[in-house]
Amino acid sequence: MQMQCNEYAKTTGGDRIYAVYEASGTLFGELKYAAGKLVHGNSCALCDITHGWHPLGKKVWRMLSDDRPEIQWLYADQQSVALKSFTADRLPCVVLHQAGTFYLLLDRVELKRCNGDLKHFMGSLEISLDAASTPSKKIET
């Protein structure tokens, strides 16, 4: 049985899920990201899922983030030192922090496969969380 994200938060005793953008949360960072997307076609797959072209985020994502606070959405410059060390050269990504250890749940390739679709993202995340809840299937990277 697949574990829903909100069920996961209730059963793990404070473990955290971090969704980390490949972008800076500063005004300059936002402008740099927008320019890179317009001029060079650069993009952050996680940004495409949650924000698209809307600076405040897609309506469906804003509703989701209110309902599912166990996912902490962070810009690259908002990470703790330990998380930043783990995610170096991996952004964007989704990470599980459990019992003092970080686990990669979704990498940039898996996020790209979501094609900006939040429903696809949530399904992929639930599959990854289900695998992470089985100790023999955990992949520490």
Determine contact, residues 127/107, Cβ cutoff 8 Å.
no
CA atoms within 13 A on the CB side of 65: 15
Q: Give the model's confidence band at 7: pLDDT under 50 very low, under 70 low, under 90 confident, else very high.
A: very low
- pLDDT tens, 35-54? 556 565 567 888 888 876 55
Give per-residue pLDDT as tens, 47-93: 888 876 555 555 666 666 555 557 898 999 999 999 999 999 999 99
Quick one: pLDDT at residue 106?
96
